[in-house]
A and B are shown apart, each in its own frame.
Chain A
Amino acid sequence: MDQSELEKLAHLARIDVADDVLEDAARSITDVLALVDQLQSANTDGVAPMAHPQDAQQRLRADDVTEPNCRDAYQAIAPQTEEGLYLVPKVID
């Protein structure tokens, strides 16, 4: 993994990785990828992927509205709100 590849990943994940640690991060991630590359040696022909430990199916909820309005409680822990809205730096389409 080179630094430019890492920068691309960091952008996808929206994480600012400081320039001085990029090299170190790239190296350690390369090590991790070398570890997980051991998977390639496994024969998985015909093996169905397993997404969940339990072979269960989804339960469905009745269509009832039971959530109360907790806006004040939720916005009490927000970085910035105004008129009931969460404020973030301007969104540009």
Chain B
Amino acid sequence: MQWETVIGLEIHVQLATKSKLFSASSTTFGAEPNTQASAIDLAMPGTLPSPNEEAFRFATMFGLAINADINKHSVFERKNYFYPDLPKGYQTTQLAEPIVGAGIVTVQLEGGSTKDVRIHHAHLEEDAGKSLHEDFHGMSGIDLNRAGTPLIEVVTEPDMRNAEEAVAFAKKLHSLVTSLGICDGEMSQGSMRFDVNISVRPYGQEELGTRTETKNLNSFRFMEEAIEMEVERQIEVLESGGSIRQETRLYNGDTKQARSMRSKEESNDYRYFPCPDLLPVVLDDAYIERVRQQLPELPETKKQRYIEELGLSAYDADILSGDAATAQYFEATAKLSGQAKLAANWIMGDIAARLNQEEISISQSPISAEQLAGLIARIDDGTISSKIAKQVFESMWAGEGDADSIIESKGLKQVSDTGALEKMVDDVIANNQAQVDNYRSADEKKRPKMLGFFVGQIMKASKGQANPQAVNEILLKKLNDQ
């Protein structure tokens, strides 16, 4: 039987506010345990929540960016369950009246086609703390620094049909929230976490199959792996006559294994009801319009600008505009060097390869945009060849300084001095008489190809430093004028 996969996502996006959703505690990542947990975050008796206006602004920005309705009247509710990382015994979230209503996100797929993913809604809620399971005499340690950090949970319709689409959507969402500046996008720190709802059904069947939810995936690769594994598992179960149990699953990216979650499996009854400590949040048109005016340039607009103003290809423009940090790096490099295309080539080529290799983000690149622009300028003005440039790049990556000082100290400057080059050409002609004869007797049309040999010899002799253009001119002159 042919199976169709149906995927819906729930994405938790940590908002990059300075303080928490309901308290004035810091949200900085990586602090000593519980040093950013205030009386409100700890759910001390008698404490009350104070909502953060920036969280609403960020959520509004998100809603506007996906062309969603912004609900001018939104209500916080309590979702009740007991867990040690949830100090109040309920999560303050939105259910019936979320701030962001239905919207749509268009995703570019690899083959050039696009895919529309409908957003059911996005709501504001507070994050939970963390349980640390390393052994404290058989106990768990609870760190509530993260408790109360604002999140928007983005809920999609089950519109995706394979892992590629789901990952492309996830990347697009990452690009969107980082470009908006409402999330730092640091997946390894849990700034974006994906819950994937997966079901399969025979092709042509309208009714959805029973779904499972794989929770808390925090990398695109893990997401892809988890989806593929789960789809395979479901098909196997169904084809061997079994049925899918609706359950919550965990995927371990390190061991590449997935399993059913035990503790949350009991039938949960969250007993949602409007939080009596909080009043409805009311936003007016003027507010929403103000937020719209202040929206930063969105990736889509940026892409168009790169194509139209900077002359990039659609493919390059898409990649460079996709991530806020990359776009910023690219624009700085292009501006400083005055060479948008070269900047694009370097960033998508050598820079991307090295970042990938070392698993770091562009903001952690050891070569700054200024430095890269410096290198490009030296290629552009003929000081070094592109071949030598690779060597300079490696030295820059290793932290040996900027392009000029490396070229200087290593003596990598291109030889353009005509006298020195003429001598080299003469030597090559003298030492390769047979090839010279061949060349001279060859047909005009074949000559350019044969020229490569001599250029190669000269470059070898000059250790790559000869200016290839000058070499070409001198060679042509000497070979043709006999």
Which residues of A line the B interface, CB within 8 A? 12, 14, 51-52, 54, 56-67, 69-71, 74-75, 80, 82-93
Asked if residues B263 and A93 are in contact (CB atoms below 8 Å), the reply is yes
Contact with A along B223-267 (1 / 0, CB 8 A): 000000000000000000000000000100000000001111000
Question: How long is the Cα–Cα vector from A89 to B83 in the complex, in angstroms?
Answer: 11
For B34, what are the chain A residues with a Cβ–Cβ distance below 8 Å? 71, 74-75, 84-86
Does B473 sit within 8 A of A, measured CB to CB? no
Count contacts between A and B, CB distance < 8 Å: 124
Does B337 sit within 8 A of A, measured CB to CB? no
Q: How far is the CB of A93 from chain B (nearest CB, A)?
A: 5
Asked if residues A93 and B250 are in contact (CB atoms below 8 Å), the reply is yes
Does B144 sit within 8 A of A, measured CB to CB? yes
Question: How long is the Cα–Cα vector from A75 to B281 in the complex, in angstroms?
Answer: 34
For A84, what are the chain B residues with a Cβ–Cβ distance below 8 Å? 32-35, 143
Pick the contact of A85 from B19, B82, B136, B278 — CB < 8 Å?
A: B136
Check A61/B53 contact, CB under 8 A, given A74-B37, A90-B140: yes
Asked if residues B42 and A74 are in contact (CB atoms below 8 Å), the reply is yes
Of A14, A74, A80, the most chain B CB neighbours within 10 A belong to A74
For B42, what are the chain A residues with a Cβ–Cβ distance below 8 Å? 74
Asked if residues B82 and A14 are in contact (CB atoms below 8 Å), the reply is yes
Question: How long is the Cα–Cα vector from A90 to B141 in the complex, in angstroms?
Answer: 8
Which residues of B line the A interface, CB within 8 A? 17-19, 23-26, 32-39, 42, 44, 50-56, 75, 82-85, 131-133, 136, 138-144, 250, 261-264, 269, 271, 274, 276, 278-282
Q: How far is the CB of B418 from chain A (nearest CB, A)?
A: 64
Question: How long is the Cα–Cα vector from A64 to B19 in the complex, in angstroms?
Answer: 6
User: Which residue of chain A is the closest to B141 with respect to CB atoms?
Assistant: A85
Q: How far is the CB of A53 from chain B (nearest CB, A)?
A: 10
Asked if residues A87 and B24 are in contact (CB atoms below 8 Å), the reply is no
Residue pairs across A and B with Cβ atoms less than 8 A apart, 20 shown, are: A56-B279, A57-B280, A59-B51, A60-B56, A63-B55, A64-B19, A65-B24, A66-B24, A67-B36, A70-B38, A71-B35, A74-B39, A82-B141, A84-B143, A86-B144, A88-B140, A89-B140, A90-B133, A91-B140, A93-B263
For A92, what are the chain B residues with a Cβ–Cβ distance below 8 Å? 262-263
For B75, what are the chain A residues with a Cβ–Cβ distance below 8 Å? 51
For B82, what are the chain A residues with a Cβ–Cβ distance below 8 Å? 14
For A71, what are the chain B residues with a Cβ–Cβ distance below 8 Å? 32, 34-35, 37
Asked if residues A89 and B19 are in contact (CB atoms below 8 Å), the reply is no
Question: How long is the Cα–Cα vector from A93 to B139 in the complex, in angstroms?
Answer: 14
Q: How far is the CB of B145 from chain A (nearest CB, A)?
A: 10
Asked if residues A63 and B143 are in contact (CB atoms below 8 Å), the reply is no
For B51, what are the chain A residues with a Cβ–Cβ distance below 8 Å? 58-61
Asked if residues B17 and A63 are in contact (CB atoms below 8 Å), the reply is yes
Asked if residues A88 and B84 are in contact (CB atoms below 8 Å), the reply is yes
Asked if residues B280 and A67 are in contact (CB atoms below 8 Å), the reply is no
Question: How long is the Cα–Cα vector from A80 to B141 in the complex, in angstroms?
Answer: 10
Q: How far is the CB of B150 from chain A (nearest CB, A)?
A: 10
Closest 6 CB pairs of A and B: A85-B141, A60-B53, A63-B54, A84-B33, A67-B38, A86-B142
Q: How far is the CB of B34 from chain A (nearest CB, A)?
A: 5
Question: How long is the Cα–Cα vector from A57 to B144 in the complex, in angstroms?
Answer: 29
For A52, what are the chain B residues with a Cβ–Cβ distance below 8 Å? 276, 279
Question: How long is the Cα–Cα vector from A93 to B260 in the complex, in angstroms?
Answer: 9
For A60, what are the chain B residues with a Cβ–Cβ distance below 8 Å? 51-53, 56, 281
Q: How far is the CB of A75 from chain B (nearest CB, A)?
A: 7
Question: How long is the Cα–Cα vector from A20 to B52 in the complex, in angstroms?
Answer: 48
Q: How far is the CB of A68 from chain B (nearest CB, A)?
A: 9
For A87, what are the chain B residues with a Cβ–Cβ distance below 8 Å? 136, 139-142
Q: How far is the CB of B258 from chain A (nearest CB, A)?
A: 13
Asked if residues B84 and A58 are in contact (CB atoms below 8 Å), the reply is no
User: Which residue of chain A is the closest to B17 with respect to CB atoms?
Assistant: A63
For B37, what are the chain A residues with a Cβ–Cβ distance below 8 Å? 71, 74
Given contacts A58-B278, A91-B83, 12 further A-B contacts (CB under 8 A): A52-B279, A56-B279, A59-B51, A63-B55, A64-B24, A65-B26, A71-B32, A83-B33, A85-B136, A88-B84, A91-B84, A91-B263
User: Which residue of chain A is the closest to B274 with respect to CB atoms?
Assistant: A51
Asked if residues A93 and B262 are in contact (CB atoms below 8 Å), the reply is yes
For B56, what are the chain A residues with a Cβ–Cβ distance below 8 Å? 60
Question: How long is the Cα–Cα vector from A66 to B19 in the complex, in angstroms?
Answer: 8
User: Which residue of chain A is the closest to B259 with respect to CB atoms?
Assistant: A93
Asked if residues B141 and A65 are in contact (CB atoms below 8 Å), the reply is no
For B136, what are the chain A residues with a Cβ–Cβ distance below 8 Å? 82-83, 85, 87
Q: How far is the CB of B55 from chain A (nearest CB, A)?
A: 8
Asked if residues B26 and A67 are in contact (CB atoms below 8 Å), the reply is yes
Pick the contact of B50 from A61, A70, A75 — CB < 8 Å?
A: A61
For A83, what are the chain B residues with a Cβ–Cβ distance below 8 Å? 33, 136, 141
Q: How far is the CB of B253 from chain A (nearest CB, A)?
A: 15
For A62, what are the chain B residues with a Cβ–Cβ distance below 8 Å? 53-54
User: Which residue of chain A is the closest to B270 with respect to CB atoms?
Assistant: A12
Check A67/B25 contact, CB under 8 A, given A52-B279, A87-B140: yes
